[in-house]
Amino acid sequence: MRGATLNDLNIRWHYWLIRSAFGIAALIALLALKSEREDRFTLIACGLFFGTFSFLAVLWPLLRLREKHGVRFSSLRFAGEHLQGLWVPASSVKTWLLLLSGGVFGLAGLGLAIAPSTMEDKIKGGIAFLFYAGFAVLWCRGLLARKPGVLVSENGVLWHEVLLAPCFIRWEQISAARTYQHREKYSTTPTFGLLIQDLSGLNVSHRTKAKLVENFNRHGWHLYYHAESLLAPLETVEAVVGYYW
């Protein structure tokens, strides 16, 4: 097992530049509180948002680099079936940091709601608290329910994500499983994707099928994990899949 590198995380110089710009924006917003007292709510919200984003964005690669890469033998149960195979774990650092950010904004909203301020600010704070509290509950539920990752067995692939119900796809239902370049509006990320022949044969809920269809319509793949999320090189993941498939 080895640790990840910045190349594994697809981090380049512009990553640090953008995060530094957010940190500077947070500092400017907080310094402006001394002169712009009428817009305290807006300035505090901007300072908190930019500052939290900058801090967590810097913290993420530092914690992510401490995680160990490696595929291991494991066994899991799905729908009463006992599955054994090679487990490719996924990182949970980003998930916990997103949960932490939701907690920060939720507590900020709660503080604004109970602080001596205008009714408008109290309403805004209450709405923010409810939104981020719901966000935190969903993430906690997903984290406690299952470990993120992919189990590759002789029968098929068991796919675990935090906010998606477990999906078990038998080999005869898989039409493609390989590395590709995941294109977003401003970036391209190495990604491992899974393409399913017929969703009607999957033992999943209608909501999960709808999410798989959405993924396919947007990105051309039903399931995918970015290279930065998997705790194994994509070449290793492809080799594991090729061994069973």
pLDDT at 210: 93
- What would the mean pLDDT of 48-70 be, rounded to a whole number? 81
Query: What CA–CA distances, in Å, run from 238 to 20, 63, 172, 176, 192?
Result: 36, 26, 17, 11, 8
Residue tagged 């966000």 (tokens): 135
Residue tagged 């709510």 (tokens): 41
What are the backbone angles phi and psi of residue 222, rounded to the nearest 5°?
-75, -40
**DSSP alpha helices (H): ranges in 38-118?**
40-64, 93-114
pLDDT at 5: 64
What is the three-class DSSP state of 151?
A: strand
Give 189-242 pLDDT, tens digit per residue.
889 999 999 898 888 889 999 999 999 999 999 999 998 888 888 889 999 998
**Does residue 2 carry a pLDDT above 60?**
no
Which residues does residue 188 pair with via DSSP β-bridges, in sequence order? 183
- For residue 221, what are the contacts with CB-CB under 8 A and spacing of at least 6? 180, 191, 193, 194, 195, 215
- What would the mean pLDDT of 110-120 be, rounded to a whole number? 69
pLDDT band at 39 (very low <50, low <70, confident <90, very high): low
pLDDT band at 157 (very low <50, low <70, confident <90, very high): very high
